[in-house]
């Protein structure tokens, strides 16, 4: 049966491995994880690291676009309701 580790645990170990204060063997014996596994987590951390900062800006742009679309939809819906109310008010003679 395979062991699964939470993301926080993996991140903690990968960060410790990147710092280099202890060897992979020392970390492996301390946390009871195979050294190759810690090495894989370290490689994954280092390969994904540049995207951490660029993704944030890209995500903000996407959120802004989604908000813009949502607001335009709401404006259109409110304009249709206003036109309908004006039409009914004219029929009632108000």
What b-and-e string marks burial along 50-59, b requiring 16 or more CB atoms within 10 Å of the CB? Answer: eeeeeeeeee
Calculate what percentage of the chain has a pLDDT beyond 70: 95
Residue whose C-alpha is closest to residue 38's, from 61, 12, 64: 12
Domain spans, the chain: 7-92
15-21 mean pLDDT: 92
Q: For residues 50-72, give the mean pLDDT.
A: 80
Is 80 exceeded by the pLDDT of residue 77?
yes
Q: Report whether pLDDT(60) > 90.
A: no
Mean pLDDT of the chain: 89
pLDDT band at 57 (very low <50, low <70, confident <90, very high): low
- The pLDDT, as a whole number, for residue 8 is 93
Counting Cβ atoms within 10 Å, is residue 45 exposed (0-12), middle (13-18) or buried (19+)? middle
């Amino acid at each position: 049966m395979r062991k699964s580790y939470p993301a926080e645990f993996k991140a903690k170990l990968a960060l410790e491995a990147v710092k280099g204060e202890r060897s992979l063997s020392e970390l492996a014996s301390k946390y009871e994880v195979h050294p190759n596994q810690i090495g894989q987590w370290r490689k994954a951390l280092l390969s994904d690291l540049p995207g951490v900062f660029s993704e944030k800006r890209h995500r903000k742009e996407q959120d802004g676009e989604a908000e813009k679309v949502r607001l335009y939809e709401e404006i259109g819906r409110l304009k249709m309701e206003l036109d309908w109310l004006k039409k009914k008010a004219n029929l009632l003679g108000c």
